[in-house]
Structure 1
């Protein structure tokens, strides 16, 4: 078994100027010890590489439910995608759990990220290790980039609770517009009706 000091010897060092959003497209396919898909689930948050931990079944179930429901109900010019990066800036490239983006952008199979102008809604399903990022850092950065809608999904006694936020154009920050248990019905960014307990 490789100890930490020898593993760090093979760890990819950041460039002298630090990690940038474009560096994520140039990371190696394998990890420092030949692990396949090592960098598949990594995001860049304020210039730091953040590795996402294994997801619980609740997380996977909510991502699937929301992606399918949003894609089914979206108008033809929009599409729902999951686990795709949004490049918010030079050192900020998070990977929302679900996004609603321009259909033209979603149809481009060569894309590795979307731009804020192409994104109408981002959804983060909170995990214990991502609480701080999903509740504070990411919403602030999404709002700063001008993404009009943000949802945060949390588990309460094993059932989903969706916190719906909308960008206030006057202040440039998100305002909470509703907390949804069991059923989610909202008129924006398009009419949406989702049975959360399905």
Structure 2
């Protein structure tokens, strides 16, 4: 019996033009940073659980003109694409075949901090999202305990508007509809 192994088509670490990147198949979770392809690590169970529960909570609260999703790419620039863990997007900015969204359609981007992504999620991505004009950013810390940090776009980047822990209800200025109980973001809540 012969087994054929098909090599991956993912150009990890390669420099691509925006057109080459856009032509890649849509079956991989990746980011495009300064023209270089970065494949994202598989999130831990806990990371996935918190993301899933947050998406479910926001879906139940959102206005009719917004959509809640995950794993959609934000096109922040020709050579910069990011995949937040949770996105709240204007329905007008999406179609059924969408795998990318423009930042002007994004109302909220959420990153869940994982080992290996700490500095990117805490420093780099908020700067990129703010520069793109995304009005709200939430950072969710999951270790050692669940903490939700909320930010709103100001004149010179994001301004922290709240820190929420167990027992709290997230209340972010400008997102009055998004009142999420922190304890409901776990399978234990």
Structure 2 unpaired stretches of 5+:
1-6, 185-189
Q: Judging changes above 3 Å, is the alpha-carbon distance between structure 1 residues 161 and 112 closer, same or farther for their aligned structure 2 residues?
A: same
**Contact in 2 for aligned 1:185/1:194 (Cα 8 Å):** yes
Give 1:19's match in structure 2, choosing from 5, 8, 16.
16
CA deviations on 1:33-69 (whole Å, 9 max, x unpaired) are xxxx5xx111112222111112111110111111111
Counterpart secondary structure, 1:44: strand
Which SS does the other structure have where 1:156 is aligned? coil
Residue matched to 1:46: 34
Q: 1:188 aligns with which of 156, 174, 181?
A: 174
Counterpart residue number, 2:143? 156
SS of the residue corresponding to residue 98 of structure 2 reads: coil
The question of 1:124 aligning with 2:114 is answered no
What RMSD over aligned residues (CA atoms) do the two structures have, in Å?
Answer: 2.3
Which sections of structure 1, spanning at least 5 residues, go unmatched?
1-6, 30-36
**Is contact 1:21-1:89 (8 Å) kept?**
no
Q: Is 1:139 aligned with 2:112? A: no
Determine which of 132, 152, 177 is the counterpart of 2:161: 177
Q: Which structure's relative contact order is higher, taking Cα pairs within 8 Å and 6+ residues apart?
A: 2
**Matches of 1:143 and 1:149, distance apart in 2:** 8
Measure the CA separation in 1 of the matches of 2:25 and 2:53: 32
Query: 1: distance between equivalents of 2:129 and 2:97?
Result: 23
Could you tell me the TM-score, scaled by structure 2's length? Answer: 0.84
* TM-score computed with the length of structure 1 as normaliser: 0.80
Number of corresponding residues? 176
- Paired with 2:106 and 2:135, the residues of 1 have a C-alpha distance of 8
